[in-house]
Amino acid sequence: MRVLVVEDELKVANFIKKGLLENNFTVDIAPDGEEGLFLAQNENYDLIVLDLLLPKLDGLELLKKLRKEGKDTPVICLTAKGGISDKIEGFNAGTDDYLVKPFRFAELLARIRAILKRSKRTPEGAELKYAGLILNRHTRHAERNGRIIILTSKEYSILELLMLNKEQVVTRTMITETAWDYNFDLMSNVVDVHIRRLREKIDRREKKSLIHTVRGMGYVLKETSI
């Protein structure tokens, strides 16, 4: 995940960068609005952390320009001002969230993760479908041949990944990167445990299995085994 931090206060910029690097993000810093706009226009970021009071080009102006050009990169605005009118102005300009300084890094990280989760869902539509299996990305429930299946959040993440990559091998690394954070112990068998439970829910009582193990590689969602 690649994040652009547009912030002129070096101390704040470095504090955010350090925290994000520790959480396996890639980070670029722009020290003023003009450079921030240039990078946001020309690079592909998953998210932008945008301070509002910036030299050269104001944060709100940057955001308006970006949205006018049709760039829909998610944005979290940072500001020392916490007034309700500023918030409304920010949301009107197209920000996804708002954080008032000073803030704790954990708070920023939680909001970044929430936005990334939301934004990942939108371009693909509300439902993923494959061979009688439907995954509703709003309710986070699955349905197979009319049977509603309630999923835990980990099961949901794994199934979503499998459906987005249907008929292709999804490696264990892809699964752990999607469903767990960096503290995850790669040696543990927790992925297998979740796959087993997911399989129970999806394939049990069905004639055809959809989730298959690909020996030494990972898993695949497919109507017939490969």
Cα separation of 182 and 153, whole Å?
17
Sheet with 218-221, side-by-side order of all strands:
170-171, 218-221, 211-214
Region of 3-11, 83-91, 107-115, 175-183 interacting with Ca ion (CB under 5 A): 3-11
Of 6-14, 91-99, 179-187, 213-221, the segment contacting Ca ion by CB under 5 A is: 6-14
Of 195, 199, 217, whose CA–CA distance to 208 is shortest? 199
Distances (CA, A) of 68 to 33, 90, 104: 16, 14, 31
Stretch that binds Ca ion, among 7-15, 145-153, 161-169, 215-223 (CB under 5 A): 7-15
Strand order in the sheet with 26-30: 26-30, 2-6, 47-51, 75-79, 97-100
List the end-to-end C-alpha distance of the chain, in Å, as a whole number. Answer: 31
Residues 52-81 that bind Ca ion (CB under 5 A): 53
Q: Could you say which DSSP state residue 123 is in?
A: G
Nearer to Ca ion, 53 or 161 (CB): 53
Q: Which x/- pattern, by CB under 5 A, does the window 101-120 give for Ca ion?
A: --------------------
Among 35, 51, 97, 160, binds Ca ion (CB under 5 A): 51
Q: How far is the CB of 138 from Ca ion (least distance, A)?
A: 36
Closer CB to Ca ion, 80 or 186, in the complex: 80
Of the candidate residues 8, 96, 97, 155, the single one contacting Ca ion (CB under 5 A): 8
Q: Rule CB under 5 A: is residue 35 a binding residue for Ca ion? A: no
Contact 226, 215 (CB under 8 A): no
Closest separation in Å from C-beta 72 to Ca ion = 24
Residues that bind Ca ion (CB under 5 A): 8, 51, 53
